[in-house]
Amino acid sequence: MGITASTTTGTDKLPEGDSESVSPQVVNVADYGVLPNGEDSTLALKAALEASKAKGATRLVFPKGRYEFFPDFADEAYLYASNNDEGLKRIVFPLVGFENLTIDGQGSEFVFHGFVNPFVVEDSSRIAFEDFSVDFSRPFHSEGIIVEEHDDGMDVRIPEEFPFRVRNGLLVFIGGEQEEGMLTTVSRGGVYGSGHLLEFDTEKRQTAYMARDYYFNGTASYPARNLGNGVVRLLIPGLVGTPGNTLVFGPNHRDHPAFVVTRSEDVSFESIVLHHAGGMGILAQLSHNIRVNNCKVTPSHGRMLSTTADATHFVNCTGYIKLTNNLFENQKDDATNIHGIYVQVVEVTEPNEVLVQLKHRQQHGFDFLHSGVKVEFVHGKSMISFGEAVVKESTRINKEFTRVVFERDMPEDLEVGDVLASIRDYPEVTISGNTIRNNRARGMLINSRGRTVVEDNYFHTPGAAILFEGDSFFWFEQGGVRDCVIRNNVFDNCLFGVWGKAVIDVRAGILEDREKSRYNRNIRIENNTFRIFDEVSLLHAYCVDGLIWENNTVEKTDAYPPLDKSFKRFDISYSDNVIIDGEPYVKD
Amino acid sequence: MGITASTTTGTDKLPEGDSESVSPQVVNVADYGVLPNGEDSTLALKAALEASKAKGATRLVFPKGRYEFFPDFADEAYLYASNNDEGLKRIVFPLVGFENLTIDGQGSEFVFHGFVNPFVVEDSSRIAFEDFSVDFSRPFHSEGIIVEEHDDGMDVRIPEEFPFRVRNGLLVFIGGEQEEGMLTTVSRGGVYGSGHLLEFDTEKRQTAYMARDYYFNGTASYPARNLGNGVVRLLIPGLVGTPGNTLVFGPNHRDHPAFVVTRSEDVSFESIVLHHAGGMGILAQLSHNIRVNNCKVTPSHGRMLSTTADATHFVNCTGYIKLTNNLFENQKDDATNIHGIYVQVVEVTEPNEVLVQLKHRQQHGFDFLHSGVKVEFVHGKSMISFGEAVVKESTRINKEFTRVVFERDMPEDLEVGDVLASIRDYPEVTISGNTIRNNRARGMLINSRGRTVVEDNYFHTPGAAILFEGDSFFWFEQGGVRDCVIRNNVFDNCLFGVWGKAVIDVRAGILEDREKSRYNRNIRIENNTFRIFDEVSLLHAYCVDGLIWENNTVEKTDAYPPLDKSFKRFDISYSDNVIIDGEPYVKD
């Protein structure tokens, strides 16, 4: 199985409007009424997609232009996208059951309007996305310029492109296009619910130095008074920020990721520009062989934010994951996270039967315990694997709970609170030639047991540039590298924010038996350049077996004010076989 | 087809735990582990329901006791319940595809916990509910006692049974049981979102005199400061209320109606006590023959509110609807509404084909335009019917839009903006012997074209006691009575609130051609007693053909202060054939 997309990119561009004569395997969307004329192309696109499938077309071509997509006539499906929010979605490109199709944008802009999900790829193979941009006319987040701080909060000036109203003491962001009808007991309206505040440095276009997150759990609006002329007084005790900086109002959901790839094979992204999504940029789950090359996640229209969550994210994937030559900037979360999912044992019902629960809200509906799947049993507190089994059959009770019967009895020391995850063809990960900068939080979260190479990247992240984790009490993400190389990267003044202990941060959610539990193994960090503005930690390692630190360069800068704390350059605990610059590491 | 329930109620009570010997058609839930022992009975109940179906049992018996039901192991389905909120629900009693089953509670209490939907009846027939109560441990609304008014809002004391927190300047109601985890970008938590405020008179246990609704469209929380000891300062400009009165915080959703009945026949409710629901009490749609007898919708535990929306509600039903000998009190909306649904024409695509839209958010997913269904075409602004047709086939685009092909061409004067509704065996409606009091808004909304009799009821409603309506611009509810009698009722000091122009209010959303459009027809109002505390309107009628007012008694009281406006006792316009006390009505 190969990716066809990368070999044809940049060649074979079709003359506009004349596709049928070129090849019967090419469908030109214009022939189906998908036109860059300002009108909603959603319904016509559906016809073009159906025709592509019926004809066995291998290429769906968009003559270069700006295409508009609205939710009204979009397909609808209840979508579970791990680490995003489930729900009934309107899907503009529902690529379900497709084989061997390239969506060729020829440099087009795809502009989405309202509460809509751009792309879903499901049960498909050999799907390539090439050469187009994705944006939303009204982003799911909003922004304002900080005017001044007050005792009871802060004044912000909100530009017209982020419509809002203040009513009954609450600031609510809205679409601004449609009129809002009469208010009744059943009104809800076109509200762009927000639940997170974060300050960005307007000049540097990155999260403000040491800015912290403000979370508003379960709410959609903010206490406020309208001062007129676009200025709103936020009445939030303790809210601080620097006048002139940008306050980003993050959405209170991850309902609208740009691309969701589920149970698919050989999916590639080539020269895609992702300006925005109401959730992650690319979320791939239970899929095999994913490549993202020469893509950009970057804001448009002078906005501070691109996607409102991770740029990319991979869950229970197999084969390979290649992130090469991309720009990931200004997204409101990490550049990537590659991991598996643990379910928790809530009841041992038979020697070979358990009731398990998907614990994290955004993992609900992540059904993977099918017949034939091999799993590992892991002690919840020590994260030590203690056995394996093969699923005989499973019964889904609902999106949270599943009853699982194994072919043989389970290990006898299995207890409620232990977790299990699938053992699979863990993906080989290649992360090379990327620029990661100015987003909230971290760079790359590396949690695959397949061979993992991170090389020739540039990192300028406010938190850890590279994070290893895995736990069974909150995120329930399975990780634990087995063979990981980090080389020839530039880590440029990372850790100017609050999201990390070290530039390279190797963690694990091990609460018990830390003397013997070794979660991450065989990490080699070499030939990298670390530019640091203070004596920050370069490396934090916890419960690691096998780590080599070699030939890395450290350069001091004055990019940021020094931090008001002291760090150890190497902060290593409960680890074995750690070699720093040729010497076995000995804890001070 | 007859209702079996009403003939057997009160007889054949089974000895506890000995059901199997009595009749093979009886299933005792205790035999399946459904026990009144404080434990979650949801999973055991599922087994009992499956056994009932497998055995062809006609009666599922609950030995008298208090049973608890939690969402964890409940069935899950995406539910569209008209006039409530759609969504993925956890359903405790999923009665799908059942025939001839009585759920016999024997006086039991069914207590539901968390975000759960008690009963769904779908594609079933001859289903009877008998002799149990329904309540929620933590209601979806909250309440507080008004301490005092301020320039910037109001202080309220919130009792412990309505847990809340104030954080970042926002008051959020919560479950209070589970701990809330660490706050992250993905937190949402067990929030009991609220979006509506209404003052109740604590002594009289009814909506406060002339209290108005405060709507918070699209939000979940309120601007507030915590003053400690359960007292919260609501920072809502213009919020007024009388110290000592009760402020009810209504939920911002109708996610959890108690009973949803869809595409079913012969469903009866006998001696059911509905203490609470997060939405309507009983919602029946596309169903045939519904009876509600000797039931109560009434608050428990000293709460001010019972259900958070209408007590009962019937959409596109057929056969009969009987509401007899019930108590409907303190629900946060009308006692009933019986109506059809209009879809709007958004495009005429062929002479016999239209694209139609379900316009109201809470009607989405209400699919009724199936092959063979007969529809009427109605002009959107005049509400005049101008033709009929039979559906040949329809294609659902999504929950909002459907493409409909008719057997013959549609009327030529059909325009975008016109609406259509099904012509069907409109239900015969019997509303007799009920007490309706102290709820928000109106009593009975009477919008069936079948014979409708409202007799021997007692009404004490803050709005209109009886309302006729129907429009094609906001609610899109089809009405228009053809034969309606209102007799021997007591209307006791209604209109002490803001929700009505007259005790009996006959409206229609007619915006054009009001000289000739006659929406409601043949209404007889006789032998009723009207107790009024001011010269309020007894009757408002608009665009009616045929109305007789005869032998009604009016008694003046001093139950409330006089209103600061003047009313006409009969406010009649654009109507024909109106006879008041034997004389043709002539407009002053």
Tell me what pLDDT residue B586 has: 86
B-chain residues within 8 Å CB-CB of A252? 188
Q: What SS3 state is found at A8? A: helix
What residue spans of A386-455 are helical by DSSP H?
none
Instruction: Mark yes or no for CB contact A361/B217 under 8 Å.
Output: no
Closest Cβ opposite residue B215 in set A88, A187, A213: A187
pLDDT at A251 over 70: yes
Q: Best of B164, B166, B170 to disrupt the A interface by mutation (most A CBs within 10 Å)?
A: B170
Percent of the residues in chain B that have a pLDDT greater than 70, as a whole number:
94
Which H or E run includes B145?
strand B142-150
Report the pLDDT value the prediction gives residue A5, as an integer from 0 to 100. 33
CA–CA separation, A308 and A140 (whole Å): 8
Segment B172-209, tens digit of pLDDT: 999 986 555 666 666 666 899 999 999 999 999 999 99
- CA dist B544 and B282 (Å) reads 30
Pick from A23-27, A580-584, B261-265, B463-467: least confident: A23-27
Q: Identify the band that residue B563 occupies on the pLDDT scale cut at 50, 70 and 90.
A: confident
Partner-chain contact A220 B218, CB within 8 Å: yes
Three-state secondary-structure class, residue A280? coil
User: Is A191 close to B474, i.e. CB distance below 8 A?
Assistant: no
Do B168 and A74 lie within an 8 Å CB cutoff? no
Q: Are strands A466-468 and A444-446 parallel, antiparallel or unpaired?
A: parallel
Q: pLDDT tens digit string along B293-313?
A: 999 999 999 999 999 999 999
Interchain pair A88, B78: CB under 8 A: yes
Residue A6: strand, helix, or coil: helix
Residues of A in contact with B182 (CB under 8 A): 474
- The answer, yes or no, to whether residue A216 has pLDDT greater than 50, is yes
Interchain contact, A217 vs B183, CB within 8 Å: yes
A477-492, pLDDT tens digit by residue? 999 999 999 999 999 9
Tell me which residue has tokens 């938190």.
A463
Kindly state the percentage of chain A with pLDDT values over 90: 90
Write phi, then psi, for B506 (nearest 5 degrees): -105, 100
Closest in A169, A214, A252 to B168, CB measured: A214
Chain A environment of B214 (Cβ under 8 Å): 168
Is residue A20 predicted with pLDDT exceeding 60?
A: no
Determine the Cα–Cα distance for residues A508 and A478; give it in Å rounded to an integer: 10
pLDDT at A9 over 80: no
Is the predicted pLDDT of residue A142 greater than 70, yes or no?
yes
CA distance B234 to chain A (A): 9
Compute the average pLDDT of residues A7-26.
50
Distance from CA of A232 to the nearest CA of B (A): 14
pLDDT greater than 90 at residue B36: yes
pLDDT of residue B10: 36
- Nearest-CA neighbor of A29 among A42, A272, A90? A42
Q: Which of B83, B185, B400 sits opposite A333 (nearest CB)?
A: B185
Q: Which residue in A117, A196, A219, A253 has the most chain B C-beta atoms within 10 A of its own C-beta, making it the best mutation to test that interface? A: A219
Segment A423-433, tens digit of pLDDT: 999 999 999 99
> 10 Å Cβ neighbour count for B375?
24
Q: Do A217 and B188 touch (CB under 8 A)?
A: yes
Buried b (16+ CB within 10 A) or exposed e, A459-497: bbbbbbbbbbbbbbbebbbbbbbbbbbbbebbbbbbbbb
**Residues of chain B with C-beta less than 8 angstroms from the C-beta of A87:** 88
The model's confidence at residue A181, banded by pLDDT at 50, 70 and 90, is low
Contact B184 A215 (CB under 8 A): yes
pLDDT tens profile B530-548? 999 988 999 999 999 999 9
B236–A169 CB contact, under 8 Å = yes
Between chain A and chain B, the number of residue pairs with CB atoms below 8 A apart is: 159
Nearest to A185 among B172, B191, B333 (CB): B333
- What is the structure's pLDDT at B144? 98
pLDDT at A22: 56
Identify residue A273 by its one-letter amino acid code. V
Residues B524 and B483: beta-carbon distance below 8 Å: no
pLDDT score recorded for residue B185: 66
Using a CB-CB cut-off of 8 Å, the residues of chain A touching B334 are none
Q: Is the pLDDT of residue B127 over 70?
A: yes
| Phi–psi pair at A6, nearest 5 degrees | -65, -25
Task: Quick: pLDDT tens for A405-429.
Answer: 999 999 999 999 999 999 999 999 9
Of A7-11, A130-134, A554-558, minimum mean pLDDT range: A7-11
Q: Output the pLDDT for position B186.
A: 63
Model confidence pLDDT, tens digit, residues A60-113: 999 999 999 999 999 999 999 999 999 999 999 999 999 999 999 999 999 999
DSSP letter assigned to residue A141: S
- Counting DSSP H helices and E strands in chain A, the numbers are 3, 51
Nearest CA in chain B to A221: B219
Closest residue in A to B82 (Cα–Cα): A186
Which of B170, B237, B361 comes nearest A188 by C-beta?
A: B361
Joined together, the tokens standing for residue A157 give 């000036």
- pTM for the predicted model, two decimal places: 0.94
**What does the pLDDT read at residue B105?**
98
Residue A185 pLDDT level (bands cut at 50, 70, 90): low
Chain A residue at shortest CA distance from B73 = A397
Name the residue among B452, B584, B469 with its Cα closest to residue B522: B452
* Å between A101 CA and nearest CA of chain B: 24
pLDDT at B222 over 60: yes
| Nearest-by-CA chain B residue for A90 | B398
Measured CA to CA, the distance from residue A342 to residue A508 in angstroms comes to: 14
Kindly indicate the confidence band of residue B11, based on its pLDDT and cuts at 50, 70 and 90: very low
Pair A99, A122: CB distance under 8 Å:
no
For residue B238, the chain A residues in CB contact (below 8 A) are 168
Q: How far is A21 from chain B (nearest CA, A)?
A: 31
| Residue A587 clears pLDDT 80, i.e. is over it | no
Residue in chain B closest to A239 (alpha carbons) equals B168
Closest residue by Cα to residue B547 from B508, B585, B510? B585
How confident is the model at residue B579, as a pLDDT?
A: 98
* Yes or no, beta carbons of B224 and A223 under 8 Å apart: yes
State yes or no: pLDDT of A188 exceeds 80.
no
Q: Complex ipTM, two decimals?
A: 0.93
Contact A216 B170 (CB under 8 A): yes
Instruction: Please say whether the beta carbons of A457 and A480 come within 8 A.
Output: no
CB contact under 8 Å between B474 and A214, yes or no, is no
Of A182, A218, A401, the CB nearest to B188: A218
Residue-wise pLDDT tens digits, A528-570: 999 999 889 999 999 999 999 999 999 999 999 998 777 899 9
Question: CA torsion angle for A494, A497, A501, A504 (degrees, to 10)?
Answer: -30
Phi, psi of B434 (to 5 degrees): -95, 155
Indicate whether A16 pLDDT > 50.
Answer: no
